[in-house]
Amino acid sequence: MERKVRVVIADDHEIFRKGLKNVLSRLKYVDLIGEAENGKEVIDIIKKKNVDIILMDIEMPEMNGIEATRRILTIRPDVKVVALTMFNDEQYIQDMLDAGAKGFLLKSITKQILDKAIRTIAEGNNYYSDELFSFFTKKVAGEKPSKDIELNLTKREREILQLICEGLNNEEIAAKLSISERTVIGHKSNLLAKTNCKSTPSLISYSIKNHLVKL
């Protein structure tokens, strides 16, 4: 990487923060520039410092991760928020997606997974813990579809949408379809516009719920 990735941890559990800091300290390309115990504190940090990625707990006192994510992306839309979650936070997953989270990590993550997640998100892609992605897709698949869905998707858009929902990133999709990564990004932008989704996770949720892809 050309420069270090500037990361902030937002979690109200001190022991968990210490453990996460210890892991991040072993990733030489990461610069941990701050930590917060609640949403208000992390907002104060991003107003004063340049931040690339925020590892954001969902449930925090004073201001939770959902509201903090909404406000942060209004102030600094370039910041990438990654939700730190447990399986029992399932009722908050959709809210974090709608707020603009770029990915989800289970709090039981290993150093290897955290490393892969930060690298993936820093490069402009989304990342989800494998266990959570499977859990989430099954949950969304059981929801009722929206009414009167009429999307004029091209054959290529449908192909790319399918691969997005299978968890492939831009580079992997480009290689699989023998097209450029720039082309994938262009099609993804069109898909977001046609579905009126704000992020890739929201697009995945929308597509699964409305049976636009096969799982």
**Which tens digit of pLDDT belongs to each residue from 63-97?**
999 999 999 999 999 999 999 887 555 667 778 87
- For 87, the domain range is 5-139
- 151 with 132, same domain? no
**Which tens digit of pLDDT belongs to each residue from 127-150?**
877 766 666 666 666 666 665 567
- 98 with 156, same domain? no
**Which tens digit of pLDDT belongs to each residue from 54-64?**
999 998 999 99
E strand spans, 61-106: 80-85, 103-106
User: pLDDT-derived band of residue 49, with 50, 70 and 90 as boundaries?
Assistant: very high
Task: Kindly give, in sequence order, each residue whose CB lies less than 8 Å from that of residue 153, ignoring residues fewer than 6 positions away.
Answer: 161, 191, 194, 212
The domain boundary, picked from 113, 139, 165, lies at 139
Grouping H, G, I as helix, E, B as strand and the rest as coil, residue 29 is coil
User: Does some domain include residue 73?
Assistant: yes
CATH number at residue 162: 1.10.10.10
Query: Is the model's pTM score more than 0.75?
Result: no
Please return the burial class of 136, using the count of CB atoms within 10 Å of its CB with bins 0-12, 13-18 and 19+. Answer: buried
- 116 with 175, same domain? no
User: Does some domain include residue 214?
Assistant: no
Instruction: Sheet containing 53-57: give its strands across.
Output: 30-36, 5-10, 53-57, 80-85, 103-106, 127-128
The domain boundary, picked from 139, 157, 186, lies at 139
The domain total for the chain is 2
Q: Which tokens in the block code for residue 91? A: 């009722």
